[in-house]
Amino acid sequence: MADKFSPTLKLLQLLTLSAAVLMLLPLPVMQYVGEEGLMAIKSYEMYVRHDWLHPSIVGMIWPHSPLWHWPVMAISNLIGWEHVDIAVRLVSVIATWLTALTAGLFGHWLFHRSHPHAGWFCALVYLTLGEVAFWYGWLGYVDATFGLFIFSAITALWRAIHDEKISWFLLSLLLISMAFMTKNITAYALFGAAGLVLIWRMQQWSLLKKPLFLIAGLLTLSVPILWQAYVVPAGNNTATTTINDVIRNYTGYGILAFIGHWLSFPFVFLFRALPLSLFLAWLWMRHKYRLHLDHTLTTLALVLLICFLPFWISAGATPRYLVPLYGLVALLLTGMTLQLDALRLRQSLLLLTLLVILKIPYSLAVLPYIKDWRPERDVKAVAEEIMRMTDDAPLLTQNDVATGLAIAAYIDVWRQQRPPVTWYSGSEKTVYILAEVETPALGQLIKSWRLRGDHVYLYRHAGSRASTGATP
């Protein structure tokens, strides 16, 4: 039975803290991956413009939420902006640590009767989820921070409904508002869906009639409205941007694409929550595990399902959208694992230990080889060559793909005495221009590079206005 499983507290603490520390390994090793260059540019331009509310990309204001960039700016000021590539990742790692802490505290509250160290086990489970340990737990995207606030808000809401405490409810509203300030209004949709399931499961409908709960909830819903009215630049709309993104996940796909997504997406989710998810699935398929869904596990499963459903029924949702759900996954896997017999529990802990160990060669060898160690993937080398070629001349860009933005991000912080690289509008004269496609109208082609599957072109433009100047 589960009560025979008694790993020492020191062992769980050692594994959990090791998993947390090893999350730092890729930070100084990897060059910019994917959107990291974009995130660094937005943070640096906000800092240069002394504007804490309006992120910009190569000089153009975008109606994106700014909160994630604030700790990036704070950390970069401490360690130097030339290390902003580390800063963007460190924010994600800190968010991952805080999510693990939240999972541990809430896991202890839910499962301490099953095991006295359930909280530490739950934190370890979260830190060793494949999607967290190998990718989004350290990657310099907003997803880890967005997930932190959504997961923390849902756990605080759970306590608020269970204990009927306005203090927990106010905390949950603060956290979900911070999630909105980190990314977009989809945070409120997940929060509301989870709240309805929790109220139904605990039969606490009377809370909807309590003035304090009702007023606080309505005031929180006004946050995006006030933000749009008083902060977002005229002509932009954060809600419209998000809604358009959502619509793109549902439109333009054939029925086969929908069916393929419906059939595959749950398995993708299951696989990316390895190793425990696959281990439990294997035990279940071999009839060596009979799951007992008590009230708590059923509630967790239903909350997870209602939050997963919008991404499941679409055709274009990617696994990245599921990052905010992995805290709930860790709780569910913890509760399920603590039902195993002593042998299977030891095997579960062994799997988590192996994953912690595998993080070392993965971070120091596998990732750099895949991303950086081949010459055609060395963004820093190209950025350095462009700086030598352009010297003190103005450098602008018409390259808004990930590779071009990464080059601009490096150049910005390597020459901080100069203005950041901005978008070429077509009116500037005697400038160098980065382009993503061959564009003779931009001027004399100085050099081109094949880089990470893209092409990068460096032009020198002098004299009359170029015939191209569209914004990205």
Give the Cα separation of 58 and 152 in Å (integer). 33
Nearest of 463, 341, 276 to residue 6 by alpha carbon: 341
CA within 13 Å, CB half, 231: 19
Find out whether 91 and 27 touch, Cβ atoms under 8 Å: no
CA within 13 Å, CB half, 409: 31
- In this prediction, residue 2 carries a pLDDT of 42
Cβ-in-10-Å burial (0-12, 13-18, 19+) of 443 comes to middle
Give the Cα separation of 341 and 140 in Å (integer). 39
Q: The whole model's pTM is what?
A: 0.92
Cβ neighbours of residue 324 under 8 Å, at least 6 residues apart? 143, 146, 147, 150, 151, 179, 187, 190, 307
Record the tokens describing residue 234, joined without a space.
């005229």
Domain ranges of the chain: 2-30+63-368, 377-461
Record the tokens describing residue 229, joined without a space.
């009215």
Give the Cα separation of 308 and 121 in Å (integer). 24
Cβ neighbours of residue 28 under 8 Å, at least 6 residues apart? 86
- In this prediction, residue 287 carries a pLDDT of 80
H/E element holding 41?
helix 36-49
- In this prediction, residue 160 carries a pLDDT of 97
- In this prediction, residue 469 carries a pLDDT of 46
Find out whether 276 and 337 touch, Cβ atoms under 8 Å: yes
- In this prediction, residue 6 carries a pLDDT of 65
- In this prediction, residue 368 carries a pLDDT of 84
- In this prediction, residue 374 carries a pLDDT of 66
pLDDT tens digits in sequence order for the chain, 472 residues long: 344 556 788 999 999 999 999 999 999 988 999 999 999 999 999 999 999 999 999 999 988 899 999 999 999 999 999 999 999 999 999 999 999 999 999 999 999 988 889 999 999 999 999 999 999 999 999 999 999 999 999 999 999 999 999 999 999 999 999 999 999 889 999 999 999 999 999 999 999 999 999 999 999 989 988 888 888 877 676 666 677 777 888 887 889 999 999 999 999 999 999 999 999 999 998 887 788 889 999 999 999 999 999 999 998 889 999 999 999 999 999 999 999 988 999 999 999 999 999 999 999 988 888 776 666 778 999 999 999 999 888 999 999 999 999 999 999 999 999 999 999 988 778 899 999 999 999 999 999 999 988 999 999 988 665 544 444 5
- In this prediction, residue 464 carries a pLDDT of 60
Write out the E strands in 169-305.
none
- Walk across the sheet containing 454-461 and list its strands: 422-423, 395-398, 431-435, 454-461, 444-451
